[in-house]
Structure 1
Amino acid sequence: MDEKVIAYLREGVALDLYQSIKAARKIKDQKVFRHTMLDENGTSVFVGFFPKAELDELPDLDQSFRDRLKIFNAIGVVTDGETRLDMYVLGSMNKPFTTLQSHNELMKQLDDGPLSAFMEQYFDVRGVNIDFMNMEYEEFMQAVEKEVFANTPMSEMSKLEELFKN
């Protein structure tokens, strides 16, 4: 995978997640919270922030998953609420994620392998046909631009054109 592509995804995810971290920080002792990326038609994609102690209570977690956990964990979850439950250890720390002071600090905690697999599933659930695992950066950015323009209302189009010019 092109390093620029994963860097772009890592930064984008970190920017989004950091907004939820800042919101959770405002609530005293908030250690369990989530950032919802998609919740429609029974399918949910989110990143949950959980202490290891809570995750250890879940049945049927394989040992390789448990071995990646630290005291505090960012877990990517894709579920249909019935039969499908895919979980990815996106990052782990020995202190709460609410102690991070920037998205740059969060980016350092994200593991590219699980992040890539999680984002691949997220794109699939959204119906986004971008095979970012096998694209060069320029091709990826063109695909993102095409996808954004295809799914943006006309009233918002001029704002997007300005973003992509810069």
Structure 2
Amino acid sequence: MTTKPQFTVRPATEADLPTIMQLVKSAIQIMHNSGNTGQWKDGYPGKDIIMDDITSHTCYILMSEGKAVGSFALKPGSDPTYSKIYNGAWLNDEPYYVVHRVTSLPETHGTFAAVLNYSFGICSNIRIDTFCDNTIMRHLLEKHGFHYCGIIHVANGDERLAFHKI
């Protein structure tokens, strides 16, 4: 019988930057292996973005058995890229948090559930977006009860599918 991994979440520190960058590389490899080669390209997310998440106290590390196995950013709204939504609407206009930059190691399962468990402990109104070819994230969002709300555009103009859960 396989036991589910136990995760703890802690705020990331500047000392975690190299570990998080390795987790980013791992996440990119997972995306590429699943056919999603269009997301997180051209050096995104780079060290400057991750460091901004860390210094703004919105970056978190998932730990399992003393090892960093994932990371994510949890940011309070309002997120400027979420101000306009096309071909749909958000579920509400209440204060919300956004989950960004979710990473994990390929051999670690259950990290997204841990991210959501932590996030919903902070705020009961969560938004998230993903690239159209990110079939893994789209599956996880559906599995965890997120509602597809429409299309948003990120800072560089690229489209993202927008999801919301209350």
Q: Same fold (TM over 0.5)?
A: no
Q: Which structure: larger Rg? A: 1
- What TM-score do the two structures reach when normalised by structure 2? 0.26
Higher helix fraction (1 or 2): 1
Higher strand fraction (1 or 2): 2
- What TM-score do the two structures reach when normalised by structure 1? 0.26
